[in-house]
Amino acid sequence: MLNEAIAEYKKAIKIKPDNAGTHCNLGLAYYKKGMLNEAIAEYKKAIKIKPDNAGTHCNLGLAYYKKGMLNEAIAEYKKAIKIKPDNAGTHCNLGLAYYKKGMLNEAIAEYKETIKIDPKNANIIYYNLALAYYKKKEYKLAIQYCDKAIQLGFKPDSKFLKSLEPYRKKK
């Protein structure tokens, strides 16, 4: 099915090469197939045509993230946020990239912004906050945010819960 979609998007691009949406859709199809270099190339073409599309910048960030190109992912997420600052998903993705780079204060700030924008879908974000605070050795906050995630229905990793146990006893 993806191969057919790719073929159709390529045909459409031959007819109208300056359609940013088609390049973005082709990039998404490549991304779903794991063809990250091709996805990145298509997202870049889409951005060249229409640079103010936050979704395309975010998609490019996701492809970079998946390739481990964290600096590039962060740069694209920031561009997306500049265009559309109220997108919780992009703030979360930026937080994940910061976390993976060990930039914990920045990750925490982005996770908190995500919750501010979309408090109804915050259960996993509270867990991400717990992980970041644990990594910072701020165990009281790690416990607080983990408990909040659980309260909202998130099921944390059992190993992480076990790692919090000694710090719960110190309360």
pLDDT tens figures, 121-130: 899 999 999 9
pLDDT tops 80 at residue 114: yes
Cα–Cα distance, 90 to 2 (Å, whole number)? 25
Based on the domain organization, do 126 and 147 belong to the same domain? yes
**How open is the CA angle 164-91-86, to the nearest 5 degrees?**
135
Based on the domain organization, do 148 and 81 belong to the same domain? no
Asked whether 54 and 80 are in contact (CB, 8 A), the reply is yes
Based on the domain organization, do 107 and 131 belong to the same domain? no
pLDDT of residue 171: 55
Cα–Cα distance, 43 to 25 (Å, whole number)? 9
Based on the domain organization, do 39 and 114 belong to the same domain? yes
Full domain range(s) for residue 51: 2-120
Provide the whole-model pTM.
0.94
Share of the chain above pLDDT 70, in %: 99
Contacts of 141 (CB under 8 A, 6+ apart): 129, 130, 133
Give the number of domains in the chain. Answer: 2
